Structure 1
Amino acid sequence: MTDPDTWQIERAVVATWPASTVVRRDGWLLRHCDLLRRRRSNSALRIGPLDDPEAALDAAERFYAERSNPAIVQVSPLDEHSELDTLLAARGYRADAPTTVMRTEREALLQACPVPDFEVVLDTEPGSRWLDAVATVGGRPEPSLDRVPAPVAFATAVHRGVPVGVGMFAVSGGWCGVYGMHTAPAWRRRGVAASLMRAGAGRASAERVFLQVETGNSVARSRYESLGFILAHAYHYRVR
Structure 2
Amino acid sequence: MVPFSAAIERAAAATWPASTVQRADGWLLRHCELLRRKRSNSALPPEQGWSRGGVERVEEFYAARGAAVIIQVSPLDRHAQLDAALADRGYRLVSPTEVMFADAGQVSVACAAGEFDVRLEPRPSPSWLAAVEAVGGAPEPSLDRVPQPARFAIAERGGTPVGVGMFAGAAGWCGVYGMATHPDWRRRGVATALLRAGARWAAESGSRLFLQVEVDNPGARRLYAALGFRTAHRYHYRVR
- The answer to whether the superposition gives a TM-score over 0.5 is yes
Q: Which amino acid aligns with 2:54?
A: A
Determine whether 1:188 maps to 2:186: yes
SS of alignment partner, residue 59 of structure 1: helix
Matched, 1:178 2:187: no
1:200 and 1:104 mapped to 2: Cα distance? 12
- CA separation in 1, counterparts of 2:47 and 2:181? 38
Asked whether the 8 Å contact 1:123–1:154 carries over to 2, the reply is yes
**Residue 45 (1) aligns with residue 44 (2):** yes
Residue in 2 that maps onto 1:227: 227
Please give the alpha-carbon distance, in whole angstroms, between the structure 1 residues aligned to 2:224 and 2:48: 34
Q: Deviations over 1:21-73 (max 9, x none)?
A: 1101012000011122211001000124445x221111101100111100000
More displaced stretch, 42-51 vs 32-41: 42-51
Name the SS for the 1:158 alignment partner. Answer: strand
Separation in structure 1 between the aligned mates of residue 114 and residue 224 of structure 2, nearest angstrom: 16
TM-score, length-scaled by structure 1: 0.95
Match of 1:6 in 2: 5
Give the whole-Å Cα distance in 2 for the aligned partners of 1:206 and 1:193: 22
Alignment partners' CA distance in 2, 1:116 and 1:190: 9
Partner of 1:76: 74
Aligned partners of 2:217 and 2:236: how far apart in 1? 14
> Retained in 1: the 8 A contact 2:26–2:46?
yes
Task: Give the C-alpha shift of residue 86 in structure 1.
Answer: 0.4
Identical residues among aligned pairs (%): 58
Match of 1:216 in 2: 216
Distance 1:32 1:113 in 2: 36
**How much does 1:116 deviate?**
3.9
Pairs aligned (count): 238
CA gap 1:83/1:17 in 2 versus in 1, 3 angstroms: same
Residue 38 to residue 206, structure 1, CA distance change in 2 (3 Å) = farther
2:144 corresponds, among 127, 143, 146, to 146
- Structure 2: gaps (5+ residues): none
Q: Are the equivalent residues in 2 in contact too, given 1:183–1:192 (CA < 8 A)?
A: yes
State the 4+ residue runs in structure 1 displaced beyond 6 angstroms.
none
Q: For residue 117 of structure 1, report the CA deviation from its aligned partner.
A: 2.0
- TM-score w.r.t. length of structure 2: 0.95
| Partner residue, 2:206 | 206
Partner of 1:101: 99
Task: Report the residue type matching 2:181 in the other structure.
Answer: T
Task: Please give the alpha-carbon distance, in whole angstroms, between the structure 1 residues aligned to 2:131 and 2:100.
Answer: 26
Deviations 1:182-218 (A, max 9, x none): 1111111111011101111211223311110011101
C-alpha displacement of 1:140 = 2.5
In structure 2, the partner of 1:24 is 23
Distance 2:6 2:223 in 1: 25
